[in-house]
Amino acid sequence: MSEATPVVIADDHPLFRAALIQAVQQCMENVAILEADSIDSLLALVDSNPSVELVFLDLHMPGNDGFTGLTQLRNHYPDVTIIMVSSENSPMIMRRALQFGASAFIPKSADLRVIGEAISAVLDGDSWLPTDVDLVPEDAQADTHHRLAQQLAELTPQQYAVLSLISDGKLNKQIAHELHIKETTVKKHVSAILVKLGVNNRTQAGMAFQQLKLNAP
């Protein structure tokens, strides 16, 4: 018998994790379900299970601010397919999830049949949103978000961490202390980040990262 495929369900609500587990087991054969209740525990699980190919990621779980968890996962593990789940029902937020690299967005109000439909579509290599949400609407920000997602994916994991701290207003000395690296190393990372994001200074870099937050325009 072939080895079970690990699938991670990352959500801090046990009842919804249970519903997702049931849906996954109905739609996929020979799977091993792993559970995480924060971004840190999710990253640790994926790091220790390199064969993980599919992650269900809660939009509002601890450690996740908007789409920062999504892009961090895409940055660290580009081969992992991500399905966002949330109680949010805003079409803009759903489409933005796909623009930043998710393959689907499942509302938590969805029943098992709809969850199964989304999983099946993603396993077939398609993108999925609820039937009442257009996949490709008129959206002036779509190209900007797609481009930012590609740029963030090009950062090294440590450069991503530095950028996140820049967006929080941290100075190089503070970043060096927090990441346990030399300040000269931080400066090199900042220079590389500016080049990869195509911006002129750290303020612009921080503003680019802020686009991942739900309150971003």
Per-residue pLDDT, 171:
95
Residue 1 has pLDDT above 70, yes or no: no
What does the pLDDT average to over 135-149?
79
Residue 136 has pLDDT above 70, yes or no: no
User: Of 159, 213, 215, which Cα lies nearest the Cα of 190?
Assistant: 159
Residue found by looking up tokens 């920000």 in the block: 141
Per-residue pLDDT, 127:
93
Q: How does DSSP assign 181-209, residue by residue?
A: --HHHHHHHHHHHHHHHT-SSHHHHHHHH
Per-residue pLDDT, 29:
85
90-130 pLDDT tens trace: 888 999 999 999 999 999 888 888 888 999 999 999 999 99
Per-residue pLDDT, 137:
62
Six token digits for residue 195? 């080049």
The pLDDT confidence band at residue 23, using thresholds 50, 70 and 90, is confident
Per the model's pLDDT, the better-predicted residue between 113 and 9 turns out to be 9
Cα-Cα-Cα-Cα torsion 112, 43, 129, 95, nearest 10 degrees, comes to: 150
What does the pLDDT average to over 177-196?
96
**Homologous superfamily of domain range 5-123:** Response regulator (3.40.50.2300)
Query: Per-domain residue ranges for the chain?
Result: 5-123, 155-210
Architecture of the CATH domain 155-210: Orthogonal Bundle (1.10)
Task: Note the helical H segments in the chain.
Answer: 14-27, 39-48, 68-76, 91-99, 112-123, 142-154, 157-167, 172-179, 183-197, 202-210
What does the pLDDT average to over 159-171?
95
Per-residue pLDDT, 182:
96
DSSP state of 2: P
What does the pLDDT average to over 128-145?
79
189-207 pLDDT tens trace: 999 999 999 999 999 999 9
43-84 pLDDT tens trace: 999 999 989 999 999 998 888 888 999 999 999 999 999 999
How many angstroms separate the Cα of 114 from the Cα of each of 107, 117, 130, 191?
9, 5, 8, 45
Residue 216 has pLDDT above 60, yes or no: no
Residue found by looking up tokens 């300040």 in the block: 183
Per-residue pLDDT, 217:
47
Element of type H or E holding 22: helix 14-27
What does the pLDDT average to over 147-155?
94
